[in-house]
Amino acid sequence: MRSRGRPGAIADSRGKKAVGKPYKSFPLTPHSSGQYCKKIRGKVYYFGKVSDPAAAVKRYHEHCEALHSGKAGSVKRKGELSVADLANRYLAFKDEKRRNGEIESATFVEYYRDCELFLRFFGKNRPVLSITREDLANLRAYPADGWNVVTLGNRIGAVRSMLKFAYDQELIDRPVRFGDELKRPAQRLIRRSRAKAGRRHFLAKEIRDLLECVIPPVKAMILLGINCGLGNKDVANLPASSVDLERGWLDYPRGKTGVDRRCPLWPQTVAAIRASNATISKQRAKRDPSAVGLLFVTRTGVLCVREKYQLSKNGRPAIVLYDSITSAIERGLKKVGIKIKGLGFYGLRRSCETIGGETSNQVAVDHIVGHAPRASDKGSVYR
C-alpha cells in the first residue's frame, strides 16, 4: 500500500518501511512490486529494484530516448534477444559461410552494412520481439530517400532474412510478422527505375568502334563478352583449357551459379584469342600462382580482377577491388567518345542477352549465358 509520508513513497509487503525517491528530481517512481518505474506514452516500464536506485536510473537513461520517441516497444530484459545480439549472431553465421567459400567477401560486406542500418534504426538494446509492423513500415521508409528501388529491395530482403534467421535458429519463440509493411518494391517500379537509369547495353557500332582502338587481349575479352555473355569475373577466371580454338567452342560453367554453359565461338573471337595468346606470351610475365592456367593475365602476371578482403581499424570489413578489365574498357570508351553513365564491360553481357532474346530461342540463350534454370523448367536437367 502507498505510504502517507513522502509523495511517491511505497511501503514494503508488511507496511512497515516506506521507500521513496532518493532525491527530488529523480525521474522514476517506486512501485509496489519493489521496482522503479515510469509511465511513457501510456505504458508503464520497469527499470530496476528500489534497493539500487543508481542502477535503475542508469538503465532508464540508456533507453529513455528510444522509449520517448516511440521507437522501442519495451526495455530489454535478461535473456531476451536484442537487435545487437541478432546482428552479431547473423554476421557470425554469414562470416562462417564466407570463410568456407559459400558466399563472396563482397556479399558479406553488404550483410554487414545491412546490419548497421538495422542497428542504427532500432538501437542496439531494442528487443527483437518488441518490433511491430508499424516499426517495419517506418524502417522501410527510413532509407528509401535517395535509394533506387533495386537497392531498396535488396535492403528489405536483408532485414527479412535477419528476422527469419532469428526464428529459424530458435533465438526467438515466435516469428516477427512482416505483413505488407516490409514488402519488396513491385516489379513494375523496378522496371521503371531501370528505364529511368538509361541504356546499359552496347549498340553494334559502339562495339565495332571499341574493337578498333584496344590491344589484342582486350579485344578478345570484348568479343567473349558479346559472343558468350561473359562478365568481368568470368573473363578473369577463364581457364585456357575451357576454350577449344580448333573446334571453336567455349565450355565453361558460370562461376556465380555453377550452371553449365557451352557456346560456339565466332571466327572473329577465335582469331582474337589467338592474337591475345601471342601478345601475352611475348610479355613473358612471371605468373602469380593464382593465375596459372588462365587465358588472360595482367602484364605483371596476376589476375585481371582481384578482390582483397580487409578489416579497418574499427573492425569494419571492406573490399578493395582491382579490376584491370573495367579500367581497359573505360579507356576505350573515352577514346571513342562514348559517355553513358553506368555503361561498362558488363554491358556486353546485357547486349548478348538482349539481342539473343530476339532469336525466339530463349532456351539456347539461357544455356549460352549460364542462367540458372527456372524451378518450373524440369527439362533443363536433361538438356
The pLDDT assigned to 130 comes to 85
The pLDDT assigned to 208 comes to 95
Residue 53 and residue 98 share a domain: no
Residue 245 and residue 154 share a domain: no
The pLDDT assigned to 235 comes to 95
Residue 369 and residue 238 share a domain: yes
Span of 12-21, 175-184, 261-270 with lowest mean pLDDT: 12-21
Q: How far apart are CA 67 and CA 75, in angstroms?
A: 8
Residue 117 and residue 55 share a domain: no
Q: Which residues pair with 48 in a beta bridge?
A: 36
Residue 147 identity (one-letter amino acid): W
Q: What CA–CA distances, in Å, run from 67 to 132, 160, 340?
A: 14, 24, 48
- pLDDT tier for residue 74 given thresholds of 50, 70 and 90: very low
Say if CB 130 and CB 73 are below 8 A apart: yes
Residue 170 and residue 110 share a domain: yes
Confirm whether 273 is domain-assigned: yes
For residue 134, give the H/E element and its range.
helix 133-141
Residue 355 identity (one-letter amino acid): I
Residue 175 and residue 117 share a domain: yes
Of the candidates 196, 216, 233, which is a domain's last residue?
Answer: 196
- pLDDT tier for residue 77 given thresholds of 50, 70 and 90: low
- Grid cell of 182 as nine digits: 516490409
Residue 376 has pLDDT above 70, yes or no: no
Determine the average pLDDT of the residues in 268-277.
Answer: 96
Residue 372 has pLDDT above 80, yes or no: no
- Strand boundaries in the chain, DSSP class E: 10-11, 18-19, 29-30, 35-40, 43-49, 243-244, 249-251, 262-264, 305-311, 317-323
Confirm whether 214 is domain-assigned: yes
CA 144, 147, 150, 156 torsion-angle sign: negative
CATH of residue 186: 1.10.150
Residue 129 and residue 238 share a domain: no
Residue 129 and residue 48 share a domain: no
- Grid cell of 277 as nine digits: 595468346
Confirm whether 92 is domain-assigned: yes
Confirm whether 5 is domain-assigned: no
Confirm whether 142 is domain-assigned: yes
Determine the average pLDDT of the residues in 239-266.
Answer: 90
Q: What is the pLDDT of residues 193-233, one digit of tens each?
A: 776 777 888 999 999 999 999 999 999 999 999 999 999 99
Q: What CA–CA distances, in Å, run from 197 to 81, 150, 192, 221, 329?
A: 41, 11, 9, 26, 20
Confirm whether 1 is domain-assigned: no
The pLDDT assigned to 11 comes to 45
Average model confidence (pLDDT) across the chain: 83
Residue 128 and residue 97 share a domain: yes
Q: List CB contacts of 252: < 8 A, sequence separation 6 or more.
A: 228, 230, 234, 238, 239, 242, 243, 261, 262, 263
Residue 304 has pLDDT above 60, yes or no: yes
Count structural domains, the chain. 3
Residue 25 has pLDDT above 60, yes or no: yes
The pLDDT assigned to 10 comes to 45
Of the candidates 148, 170, 196, which is a domain's last residue?
Answer: 196
Confirm whether 16 is domain-assigned: no
Determine the average pLDDT of the residues in 44-73.
Answer: 78
* Side-chain half-sphere CA neighbours of 101 within 13 A: 2
Confirm whether 373 is domain-assigned: yes
Q: Which of 5-19, 110-124, 172-186, 365-379 has the highest mean pLDDT?
A: 110-124
Say if CB 72 and CB 63 are below 8 A apart: yes
Residue 377 has pLDDT above 90, yes or no: no
- Grid cell of 248 as nine digits: 571453336
- Grid cell of 254 as nine digits: 558460370
**Percent above pLDDT 70 for the chain:** 86
Q: What CA–CA distances, in Å, run from 116 to 95, 112, 121, 130?
A: 15, 6, 9, 19
The pLDDT assigned to 342 comes to 84
For 307, which DSSP code?
E
Residue 365 and residue 248 share a domain: yes
Q: For residue 42, give its domain range.
A: 25-69
- pLDDT tier for residue 353 given thresholds of 50, 70 and 90: confident
Q: List CB contacts of 336: < 8 A, sequence separation 6 or more.
A: 206, 209, 210, 213
Verdict on whether the full-model pTM lies above 0.75: no
CA 232, 234, 239, 242 torsion-angle sign: negative
Residue 162 and residue 301 share a domain: no
Span of 60-74, 208-222, 235-249, 255-269 with lowest mean pLDDT: 60-74
- Grid cell of 92 as nine digits: 557470425
Of the candidates 196, 218, 246, which is a domain's last residue?
Answer: 196
Q: What is the pLDDT of residues 152-170, one digit of tens each?
A: 888 888 999 999 999 999 9
Residue 1 has pLDDT above 70, yes or no: no
Residue 9 has pLDDT above 50, yes or no: no
Q: What is the pLDDT of residues 166-199, one digit of tens each?
A: 999 999 989 988 877 778 777 787 777 776 777 8
Say if CB 108 and CB 150 are below 8 A apart: no
Residue 272 has pLDDT above 90, yes or no: yes
For 299, which DSSP code?
T
The pLDDT assigned to 282 comes to 74
Residue 351 has pLDDT above 80, yes or no: yes
The pLDDT assigned to 144 comes to 52
Residue 50 and residue 99 share a domain: no
- pLDDT tier for residue 240 given thresholds of 50, 70 and 90: very high
